[in-house]
Structure 1
Amino acid sequence: MMTNAFEAISAIMKNFVDEAPKPPLHVGEVMDLWTAFTAFHEAHALYQVGMNTTTDNDVQHVLQSALEGSMSDTKKIEAFLLKEGVPLPLVNPEKPISEQSAVPEGVKLKDDEITNLISAKVAASITFCAQAMSKTVRTDVGLMFFSIQINLMKFAAPLKNLMISRGWLRIPPEYNPPGAPSKE
């Protein structure tokens, strides 16, 4: 239901402002697009490493979903940059598929480590998209970051639920400010 509301808002915004002439990308927009493109490629490597180490079917599903969603968003950014005449940054190649049992224990990430790394990366990416949206002049760039942010949030909720159900979510201690009433 929430996704439909976001899609409706996005469609309305696009109808009102997409007809306006587009100024050239400014240096901040290019930098944010470059940063997102590079960070998402970095995330692809994390998802691939995770798929090469976990044997948990739920974690495999999360990683596959994350990889597919991130690749889709990355392709949008790539196509946009190329259309605007911006050269792409160098990125690392994809990781080859390997056998999970062949990864040595000292190198292998545990399932809770994998999911917490992904959770932190997704949270940082959601924040990054919000910052990029607030700095952009071009509506099409803002809408792209908005769309990517929505995709990240749609992915984050089931990931969080999996982490809670497995006891993997790392929660900071409760904060009790000085002078606050006692909860006893």
Structure 2
Amino acid sequence: MSNPFEAAWNTIKLLVDNEPKSPMHVGEVMSIWTYLTILDEALRYEEVGLNTTTDDEVIELLVDAKKICESQSKRLSNFMQKEGIPLPSSQAKKPVSKPNEIPLGVKLTDDEIANGVSLKIAAASVECAMGNSQSIRTDLGLIWTEFYTEMLTFGATTKTLLRKRGWIKVPPYYTPPGLPE
């Protein structure tokens, strides 16, 4: 049985596919170009994390993050190629190394890795929201909505791990003057 939300989403996509498409404006192009660059940067970070950690939960987090980034990167690259937009240059993949052979002075801790992934999710989510706000074309707006939803869902999972491990970074609490404590 199909998911009702997925069925509705597919119906909306069909309607959008038949809509006439104007050329993309510079803001739309810049947003997707920047987002693809963010995904590439995140992929390299995830590879570094996988080379660094031995923690099973952090490895699972990194593998999931890598799958999302690779999937979104592929979809966005295909869209850009269809639209005739040059792709940004990407960094070479990191070679696989053994975590126990990395000197402690350069090795990221599991806390640093997980919070780094969290920061990448935050940056990607902000770019999705900004790209969506600039989009005039409905097909691009749907892409941004889809990417944003994926990042928010993954972000909730990441936050759960950060809280569980005591790694979540919380700003100082603020109590306005005169408010009962």
Aligned length: 179
1:119–1:156 Cα contact (<8 Å) kept: yes
The aligned counterpart of 1:36 is: 35
Q: Is the 8 A contact 1:10 1:143 kept in 2?
A: no
Structure 2: how far apart are the matches of 1:178 and 1:52?
A: 48
Q: Percent identity?
A: 44
**CA, structure 1 residues 47+72, in 2 after alignment: closer, same or farther (shift >3 Å)?**
same
- 2:5 and 2:115 mapped to 1: Cα distance? 27
Return the TM-score normalized by structure 1.
0.91
After superposition, residues 59-74 of structure 1 pair within 5 angstroms as: 59-74=58-73
Q: For 2:47 and 2:174, how far apart are their aligned partners in 1?
A: 36
Could you tell me how far apart the structure 1 residues matched to 2:74 and 2:95 are? 20
1:1-184 correspondence runs (5 A) = 7=6, 10-179=9-178, 181-183=179-181
1:90 CA displacement: 0.8
CA distance in 2 between partners of 1:16 and 1:152 (Å): 25
Offset, 1:6: 6.0
Question: Matches of 1:175 and 1:121 in 2, distance apart?
Answer: 26
Whichever residue aligns with residue 138 of structure 1, its letter is R
Cα RMSD, aligned residues only: 1.6
Instruction: Please list every run of at least 4 consecutive aligned residues from structure 1 whose deviation after the TM superposition is greater than 4 angstroms.
Output: 4-9
Question: Equivalents in 2 of 1:9, 1:125: separation in Å?
Answer: 25
CA offsets per residue over residues 81-122 of structure 1, 9 Å max, x none? 111111111111111110101111111110011111111110
Unaligned regions of 5+ residues in structure 2, if any?
A: none
TM-fit CA distance, 1:18: 3.4
Compared with structure 1, are the counterparts of its residues 6 and 34 closer, same or farther at alpha carbon in structure 2 (3 Å cutoff)? farther
Aligned counterparts of 1:50 and 1:88: Cα–Cα separation in 2: 25
- Give the SS at the match of 1:109: coil
Q: Give the counterpart letter for 1:29 in structure 2.
A: E
Q: Which runs of 5+ in 1 are unaligned?
A: none
CA positional deviation for 1:12:
4.9
Helix, strand or coil for the counterpart of 1:175? coil
